[in-house]
Structure 1
Amino acid sequence: MTDPHITPASWTALTTLSDKASAEALGAAMEQMDPAPDGIGVFEMEDGSGLWEVGGYFSAAPDTVALALLAAAYGAQPFAVSELPPTDWVAHVRRELQPVEAGRFFVYGSHDADRVPEDRVAFLIEAAMAFGTGHHGTTKGCLLAFEALLEDGLDPGPVADIGAGTAVLAMAAAKVWPDAPVVASDIDAVAVEVAEANLEVNDMAGRVACVEAAGFDHPALAGPFDLIFANILKGPLIDLAPDMARASARGGAAILSGILNPQAEDVVAAYGDAGFDLVRREVLGDWTTLTLRRS
């Protein structure tokens, strides 16, 4: 029987271009290759370079001559082709990931169940689940920011977790504020299912309302909320600033992450224009978490 957690050997082909239109055109042209890629990604690079990355993912070795011709035709850098060996990703994650400790919060996998301190608010997030494990630096930054607000005496109230993924942040709020209404949303239906599964695993089924929505586009997200988490990316965060202001209660707090350090000032400026004041900035490695209050 094949282990579903072990991926067979595969190949990646990556290149960069200077503009979005050419990148998207190259991505579309790659779909006509033989063998065809199993997936194609076109992304603006988050390093401030202005470049776009185009990546193809193949289950059979790609045609390097065709890739070279495509790169030349669309003005891209030569493709970097790499073979990925068969990998048991769940075993790899379990070896690499240690529990996350952020103030009173403790995020762990089942392989660390014997390490859970009795005095912590703990959440079991399995490595096999999609949409992250809760171990990313941005999640820890959000938990630390929430801890700081709790230490400052933040009163319980309605909470929204936008782009919730595994719903760790929503669960954290629901645990410390058992009577507060909490809603977790994600643009991806599978992520919503993952959030609901995590709630059940942590004996919190029904405690958080999980909805599929883009941004605040759902009746359950009309607000007003006393606390809003949004751990996504710079671009969507800036786009959501006006909607977040409308959904936030006066004096309400917002914890934002998924922001690379050089991007933080742009996010602060956008939210300042929307009526938020910066309260705190948390930097963990390459990532910044911002705590804001609606004026």
Structure 2
Amino acid sequence: MGKKRKHSETESAVIANKEEIAEERPKRTLLGFKDSNGDAKEHDIAPAGFRNKEKVLVTCTRRISFRYRHLMLNLVDLLPHCKKDNKVESKNSKGTALNELVELKSCSSCLFFECRKGKDLYLWMAKCPNGPSVKFLVNAVHTKEELKLTGNHLKGSRPILTFSSNFDQNPHWKLIFGIPKDHRKSKPYHDHVFVFSIADGHIWFRNYQISCTHFGTQKVDRGDLEKMTLVEVGPRFCLNPIKIFGGSFGGPTLFENPFYVSPNQIRSLAKRQKAGKYAKKVKAKTRRKMHELENPLEVDEFADMWKE
């Protein structure tokens, strides 16, 4: 067995090892770094910058169809600063319930998908709790799973927002739909584009990936737009504005679309047209009977010739 080291030898070895190892980092606290004496250094405190804590609550009503639910999940993937919650019962008092839910989830905005009769989808965009809020009718819905497009971009990256020149004509078209800068779940670069365009009084939404064709280590020059192409990713949908309210999910009406026709009226008109076709058939039959009664046929003298 080896000999035991003396106590003095072990102390000298520990001191030599401490000199080789770097100095221990001081303990960090909320007020800065602490010295060995326990005093905090105020000059080491980093200046706190602006941190955007904007969050969006995304929820829907019960008995929503699978197609509209997939559209909502596609939007959740596009918005890294959102929070998804359970389904909410659609009642007359949904505004107060949603405002409380937004406050409990520490959010500042809300996207509420309201499905009625299993056919009609309404989208509420609200700034809680003071407003304003916008109500849309969603048409021409195509989810990512239906389109099967070749485009693909990273999840959580910040999009570039592009609006058509029509948005500057009227004040009610000026909408905000983006991801806050320096959010903890968002990437610090752009690789896709959100396109908003107005046609026939509707807002059409498209999502494109920014694709750059380069080979190996070759990089695209900054601002070289000729080498960049756009590949559609999805989803697609169309927003028909109905009303803009001054409060959150209600309040005074700031704007009302005069050209809006509800889906119930469209379906009732279609039923009336079908009912009109049946009524025309009944009228034609009655006219034919009246014509036969007014113009009876003459008796044929040879009708009973071959009867025995």
TM-score by length of 1: 0.23
Q: Which has the larger radius of gyration?
A: 2
Q: Which has the higher helix share?
A: 1
Tell me: higher relative CO, structure 1 or 2? Use CA pairs within 8 A at least 6 residues apart. 2
TM-score by length of 2: 0.23
